């Protein structure tokens, strides 16, 4: 078995045990857990020091998985997904499938169809959405590369993915698009 697959398997095993992983995403280094397990979400927020009411993104594998976590999917979303050129998070009404701690006070959840090969394989194998929040304490700078992750975060994760730790490529957080009151998609963060 190759190293990449071993890391995917190890991450999925930890996630299925309702634990937290520290992993590279398609944007920055993140902390993650199963998006359907409230206890795991609470544990992740405690490690991060993230206040309640400030939800995190959920990474999904495809449009069907996105629809599992969204109470409403606008008709133009499929065309928007086909046209996007970089990671984009969509703020949509949350369904009951997503852990309550991931739902914003306005009843929405941030969902992103992940393009990164590692994350995609983890989400696909796990069969659930994967929480994605930057791997930093609340209020601290977001770690673009593994070397910038606070040692306290590394120690607090149940598993640190050994993939792309030496990658120095810097990316930016995802673009954010919200489903507006008129039912159309509106850019919140470019």
What pLDDT does 123 receive? 98
Q: Residue 121: what are its φ and ψ, rounded to 5°?
A: -65, -40
Helix ranges, the chain (H):
3-16, 38-48, 63-69, 77-83, 117-126, 151-156
* Cα distance from N-terminal residue to C-terminal residue, the chain: 40
Token readout for 120 is 């995609």
Regions of the chain with pLDDT less than 70: 1
3-state helix, strand, coil in the chain (%, to 5): 30, 25, 45
139, 86 contact by CB (below 8 A): no
What pLDDT does 178 receive? 87
What pLDDT does 1 receive? 63
57, 142 contact by CB (below 8 A): no
- Residue 163: give the domain boundaries: 3-189
What pLDDT does 175 receive? 83
pTM equals 0.93
Q: State how many domains the chain has.
A: 1
CA dist 131 to 21, 30, 155, 156, 180, Å? 10, 9, 19, 16, 23
What pLDDT does 54 receive? 83
CA dist 178 to 37, 41, 50, 66, 161, Å? 25, 23, 22, 14, 31
- Specify the CATH number for the domain of residue 147: 3.90.870.10
């Amino acid at each position: 078995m190759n190293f990449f697959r071993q890391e995917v398997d190890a991450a999925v095993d930890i996630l299925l045990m309702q634990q937290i992983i520290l992993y590279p995403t398609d944007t920055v280094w993140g902390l993650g857990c199963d998006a359907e397990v409230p206890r795991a979400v609470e544990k992740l927020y405690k490690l991060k020091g993230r206040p309640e009411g400030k939800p995190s993104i959920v990474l999904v594998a495809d449009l069907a998985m996105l629809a599992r976590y969204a109470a409403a999917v606008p008709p133009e979303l499929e065309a928007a997904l086909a046209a996007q050129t970089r990671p984009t998070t969509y703020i949509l009404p949350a369904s009951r499938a997503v852990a309550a701690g991931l739902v914003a006070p306005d009843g929405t959840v941030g969902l992103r169809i992940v393009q990164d090969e590692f994350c995609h394989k983890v989400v696909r194998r796990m069969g659930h959405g994967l929480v994605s929040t930057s791997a930093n304490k609340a209020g601290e700078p977001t770690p673009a590369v593994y070397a910038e992750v606070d040692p306290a975060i590394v120690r607090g994760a149940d598993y640190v993915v050994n993939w792309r730790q030496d990658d120095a490529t810097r990316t930016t957080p995802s673009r954010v698009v919200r489903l507006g009151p008129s039912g159309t998609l509106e850019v919140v963060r470019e």
